[in-house]
Structure 1
Amino acid sequence: MAWELAGYGVTAAVVVIAAAFLYGVVNVVCSLRRLDQAVANLSREAETSLQGCSRLAEEASEAIQVSRQSLQGFASLAEGARALGEAVQTAAQTAVHVTEQYREILTSPIRSTPDDRDRGERETPNLSEIGRRLWMMWKKGEGRAGSSRNPGTSADPSEGE
């Protein structure tokens, strides 16, 4: 009987070991299924995140391109403003010069004879002379500015006729 009891004990131990092994295998399989699901979820989330990052990169690229075009436009605008400023400055200098010359012509000593002074009459400046002087000043200023529109023309309008 002791041998029978020992046989039953060994059999019970083998059954318990087999059950424990089976329980361990089932736990490992369940853990692997959960791990597989977690990996699948992570893969979907990573793909969604990757698509979002890709869209963000495309939008950033477009924004950089638009910014570059805007900066080029601003550079062109600044160059145009600089050229306009130079033109305005040149025009202002020319206007000041013409105004000074015109004032000088008009305020130059008026020719008069002693008899005219007694009578209070004076000779007025000849308007054609004023026009000729202004024309010559304008032509001189044009040559000074480096303009080569009409290099063969003379400063005196009567010379070409």
Structure 2
Amino acid sequence: MAWELFGWAASVLCVVAAAMIVLLGVSVRQSLRRMEAESARTMREAAAAMSECRRLGSEAAEVARLCREGLQGLESLAQGGRAIGDAARTAAGAAADAVVSWTRRLEGRLAASEERQTRRLGETLDWMELGVFIWNAWSGHFGSALNGHGRKSGESADEQRR
């Protein structure tokens, strides 16, 4: 009987062990399905995250390209500004040189004009002196015969009218 009981216990134990193995298999299978579902969901999320990263990467590349073009435009603008500054500096130098040149020319012409005017004034004064000399000589020679009103000395207005 003990052997029988032992046989029955062994067979129950085998059935329980088989049931446990089946339950363990079902449990492992469910866990694997859940893990597969989680893995698929994680893969979908990873794919969405990767596409978002690609989109952000392409936007970042576009922003970098626009920044580079903007910087190139600013560099061109700065070069244009430098060129304008150089041109303005050159124009200012040329204008200053022209002013200096005109000033020198005007100084020369004004000096020559001043010299001519001084010479003409000297000539005019010489002619005036000659005229005064002639006038004085004429007055001295003929003035003694005529008084200040075109009359001879001693003649009255009545005597002259006759």
For 1:29-108, list aligned pairs within 5 A: 29-108=29-108
Gaps of 5+ in 1: 121-161
Q: Give the Cα separation in 2 of the matches to 1:47 and 1:118.
A: 111
Specify the alignment match of 1:111 in structure 2: 115
Question: Greater helix percent: which structure?
Answer: 2
Larger radius of gyration: 2
Q: Give the Cα separation in 2 of the matches to 1:81 and 1:34.
A: 68
Deviation at 1:46, TM superposition (A): 0.4
- RMSD in angstroms over aligned alpha carbons? 2.1
Describe the superposition over 1:47-70 as per-residue Cα deviations: whole angstroms up to 9, x where unpaired: 110110110111011112112211
Deviation at 1:107, TM superposition (A): 2.6
Specify the alignment match of 1:2 in structure 2: 2
Helix, strand or coil at the partner of 2:115: coil
Higher relative contact order (CA 8 A, sep 6+): 1
Gaps of 5+ in 2: 126-162
Number of corresponding residues: 120
- Write the letter of the residue equivalent to 1:40: A
Helix, strand or coil at the partner of 1:111: helix
TM-score normalised according to structure 1 size: 0.66
Specify the alignment match of 1:123 in structure 2: none
Deviation at 1:117, TM superposition (A): 5.8
With 1-10 and 64-73 compared, the bigger mean Cα shift is at 1-10
Specify the alignment match of 2:128 in structure 1: none
- Write the letter of the residue equivalent to 1:116: L
TM-score normalised according to structure 2 size: 0.66
Deviation at 1:91, TM superposition (A): 0.8
Where does structure 1 differ by over 3 angstroms across 4 or more consecutive aligned residues?
A: 117-120
Q: Give the Cα separation in 1 of the matches to 2:37 and 2:122.
A: 119
Q: Does 1:13 align with 2:35?
A: no
